[in-house]
Each structure stands twice: as C-alpha cells, then as structure tokens.
C-alpha cells in the first residue's frame, strides 16, 4: 500500500481550486441525513467506507445505493435538503464547479416530475459554487413512463445535459443516439458512462455512435491503442473516479489505475468521486490517491484541476479567472 501524503501536500490539495464533474446526486446522499431519519438503524459507519472494502459486483453496489436512496429521496424537498449538504461539502474543499446527475429512474420509482427534481437541486446551489445538473438514464430505460419524459426533458429550464449510466454491458438501443443528437441540437451537453465495466469498444461506441466527448470513467480505453487515438482526435474528456474503480473492482489496486497512462498519453482527465455514499470518498481523497498511489506531482494535480475548468459549462471570463487561480497556487 502506498504511503500517506505529507501535510504539505494535503494543504496544497485543499487550497487548489477544483471541480467535480462526475457525481450522482443519489449516490452522494449524505449519511448524516439517514442518521437523522433513524439514528439507531444508521448508528454505524457503513462498511463500504472502509479502505479495503470491495463491492462484489455492480448489481450489488447499485441495489445498495438505490435501497438507501429511496429511504431519503421521497420528494423534491429531499433533493433540495441533500443537495444543500452536498454542495456545502464542495465549498469546504475549495471546489468551484460541480456537474451532478439525477437518475431518471427516480421519476418512475417516485412519481415525481423530473422538472421538480432539477429545480430542487439547482436552487440548493450556494454562492461561490457553479452547479450544472444533468439527467442520467439507464441503457434500457425507455419505458412507457419514461418515454414521454425523455421526449420533453431537453426543453426543461436549466437542464445542462444528459448522461447514460447503469449497467454498461446492455446494448445501445435505437432511441439513444437520436436523443443524444437532439440534446446537442438543443445546446445541451451529452455524456455517457463507458469503459468502466465493459471494454474499450464501449468508449468507441460513445464517441462514434452517441457523438459524446464527455466519457464517464472511460478508463478501459487503455486496452485498445486505436480507441485512445480516437479519443485524442475527438478531444474527449474522461471524468475519472479512481477510488470508485478500485472499490467496484474494475481495477485491482490503485497503483495499477490507468489514469497515470491516460494522463501521460495526453487524454484530458478530470477527477471526481462518482458515489461518495457508496465509497466514503471526497474529491480531496481522490487527489491524495493520485499523489500517493500514482506519483502525480503537484504540477500534474494542477493540470487535472485545470482540465475540469477547461470543460466547465461557463463563460470564458469565469474559466480564465479559475484557471489563473490554479496557476497562482
Ligand atoms: N450509477 C451510479 N454510479 C455508477 C457507476 N459507477 N457506473 C455506472 N452507473 C452508475
Ligand atoms: Zn458514475
């Protein structure tokens, strides 16, 4: 196991202005809110937060996440309350910009309108933090209930974009590339989870068939040089979550994580937590992991932070200000 970081590096990581661009809001449910609901049931720190914990499989992880999310996220107000706590945590880590997604399946499970979830999350954004909200959906979500929602969501006020997530090895269905094209035509950003549980071919599919440049994870692109080349040509960004990858056993040990090679080969990588409820991680932990486990220098960590600001959905003056702040550290 790698050595812990020095207090000087921890201080550097803390002071670095940062982004988080891959965060599932239901997977970021603050544990303290569940404890408030039922102090006895949630008296123990979750087992999945321990350092060496590994999830058995994606389905176990997802079932645990959804089971807990459904205990809290019962109405739009609960999204507002959770988002307030989550965003306060971002400010406390010197994070300036966040992209978070809510799960379209919750609209179906709870019968609450997507617009209200979106509005609840957006209105929780505090001063000093720019928040962009995406709707995430599973590859097989085109149900009777969600079909009309997906057809109209692109016009919702304040929706920044859409993301494809859930079980990765399901086939891409016909509706998906059409919706992804339509989203970009409406000026929205498009993302897709790819190259996490399935191989480099899924990263290729996300770029070539879905037309997205924002790959969530993307790390298994490392298995195919031609896909790395494609991602470089497309100027793609990989929103990487190393601790998630280790705890979901996509990668055996942090020291083997491909972000080192992806970064060295020139792929634009950013750093995020994915689902802190299920991994017990913070963005600062992710930076520390790169420093201690993968020998990222402070200059390289600055580049990772700048990568997040480079793809942020903000005006050029804001981007330039944030970038200059990173440079000044
Ligand atoms: N939904 C929440 N976390 C996810 C992950 N790591 N991969 C795919 N879908 C997810
Ligand atoms: Zn994710």
CATH of the domain at 189: 3.20.20.140
Degrees, nearest 5: CA angle 120-19-105? 40
Residue among 29, 57, 193 to mutate when testing ligand 1 (max atoms within 8 A of CB): 193
Q: Considering the domain boundaries, does residue 75 fall inside one?
A: yes
Please tell me the residue having the least CA distance from ligand 1 atom 4. 166
The per-residue pLDDT for 30 is 98
Q: SS3 for 315? A: coil
CA 64 vs. chain centroid, Å, equals 18
The whole-number average pLDDT for the span 168-192 is 97
Q: Considering the domain boundaries, does residue 235 fall inside one?
A: yes
Please state, in angstroms and rounded to a whole number, the distance separating the CA atoms of residues 243 and 215. 17
Tens digit of pLDDT for each residue in 212-240? 999 999 999 999 999 999 999 999 999 99
The whole-number average pLDDT for the span 129-146 is 96
The per-residue pLDDT for 71 is 96
Q: Is the CB of 205 under 6 A from ligand 1?
A: no
In this prediction, residue 3 has a pLDDT band, given cuts at 50, 70 and 90, of: low
307 CA distance to ligand 2 centroid (A)? 18
Please state, in angstroms and rounded to a whole number, the distance separating the CA atoms of residues 47 and 25. 20
Domain count, the chain: 1
Which residues belong to the active site?
196
Whether the predicted pLDDT of 275 surpasses 80: yes
Q: Considering the domain boundaries, does residue 313 fall inside one?
A: yes
Q: Is the CB of 245 under 6 A from ligand 1?
A: no
Structural domain containing residue 56: 7-328
Residue among 28, 216, 239, 248 to mutate when testing ligand 1 (max atoms within 8 A of CB): 216
Atom of ligand 1 at shortest range from CA of 136: 1
Q: Is the CB of 27 under 6 A from ligand 1?
A: yes
Q: To which H or E segment does residue 151 belong? A: helix 146-152
Tens digit of pLDDT for each residue in 12-63? 999 999 999 999 999 999 999 999 999 999 999 999 999 999 999 999 999 9
Q: Considering the domain boundaries, does residue 285 fall inside one?
A: yes
Packed helices 7-15 and 298-311: angle between N→C axes, nearest 10 degrees: 20
Whether the predicted pLDDT of 193 surpasses 50: yes
Residue 304 — φ and ψ, nearest 5°?
A: -60, -45
Q: Considering the domain boundaries, does residue 267 fall inside one?
A: yes
In this prediction, residue 151 has a pLDDT band, given cuts at 50, 70 and 90, of: confident
Tens digit of pLDDT for each residue in 86-111? 999 999 999 999 999 999 999 998 99
Residue among 21, 29, 58, 219 to mutate when testing ligand 1 (max atoms within 8 A of CB): 58
Q: Considering the domain boundaries, does residue 2 fall inside one?
A: no
Q: Is the CB of 193 under 6 A from ligand 1?
A: yes
CA 122 vs. chain centroid, Å, equals 16
Neighbours of 236 (CB within 10 A): 22
Q: Is the CB of 244 under 6 A from ligand 1?
A: yes
The per-residue pLDDT for 238 is 98
Q: Is the CB of 165 under 6 A from ligand 1?
A: yes
83 CA distance to ligand 1 centroid (A)? 18
In this prediction, residue 1 has a pLDDT band, given cuts at 50, 70 and 90, of: very low
192 CA distance to ligand 2 centroid (A)? 9
Q: Considering the domain boundaries, does residue 70 fall inside one?
A: yes
The per-residue pLDDT for 2 is 61
Tell me, yes or no, if the pTM score tops 0.95: yes
Q: Considering the domain boundaries, does residue 1 fall inside one?
A: no
Please state, in angstroms and rounded to a whole number, the distance separating the CA atoms of residues 290 and 13. 11
The whole-number average pLDDT for the span 158-162 is 98
């Amino acid at each position: 196991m790698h050595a812990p970081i020095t207090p000087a590096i921890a201080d550097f990581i803390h002071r670095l202005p940062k982004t988080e661009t891959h965060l599932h809001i239901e997977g970021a449910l603050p544990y303290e809110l569940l404890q408030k609901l039922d102090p006895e049931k949630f008296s123990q720190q979750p087992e999945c937060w321990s350092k060496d914990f590994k999830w058995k499989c994606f389905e176990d992880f997802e079932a645990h996440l959804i089971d807990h999310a459904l205990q809290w996220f019962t109405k739009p107000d609960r999204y507002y309350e959770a988002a307030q706590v989550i965003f306060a945590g971002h400010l406390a880590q010197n994070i300036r910009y966040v992209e978070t997604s809510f799960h379209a399946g919750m609209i179906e499970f709870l019968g609450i309108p997507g617009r209200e979830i979106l509005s609840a999350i957006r209105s929780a954004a505090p001063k000093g933090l720019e928040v962009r909200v995406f709707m995430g959906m599973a590859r097989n979500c085109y149900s009777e209930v969600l079909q009309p929602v997906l057809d109209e969501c692109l016009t919702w006020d304040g929706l920044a974009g859409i993301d494809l997530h859930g079980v990765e090895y399901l086939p891409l269905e016909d509706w998906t590339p059409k919706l992804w094209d339509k989203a970009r035509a409406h000026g929205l950003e498009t993302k897709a989870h790819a190259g996490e549980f399935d191989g480099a071919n899924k990263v290729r599919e996300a770029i070539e068939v879905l037309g997205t440049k924002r790959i969530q994870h993307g790390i298994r692109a490392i298995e195919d040089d031609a896909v790395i080349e494609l991602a470089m040509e497309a100027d793609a960004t990989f929103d990487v979550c190393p601790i998630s990858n280790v705890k979901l056993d996509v990668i055996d040990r942090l020291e083997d994580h491909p972000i080192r090679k992806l970064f060295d080969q020139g792929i634009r990588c950013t750093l995020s937590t994915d689902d802190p409820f299920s991994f017990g991680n913070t963005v600062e932990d992710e930076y520390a992991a790169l420093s201690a486990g993968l020998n990222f220098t402070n200059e390289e960590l600055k580049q990772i932070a700048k990568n997040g600001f480079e793809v942020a959905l903000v005006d050029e003056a804001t981007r330039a200000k944030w970038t200059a702040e990173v440079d000044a550290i």
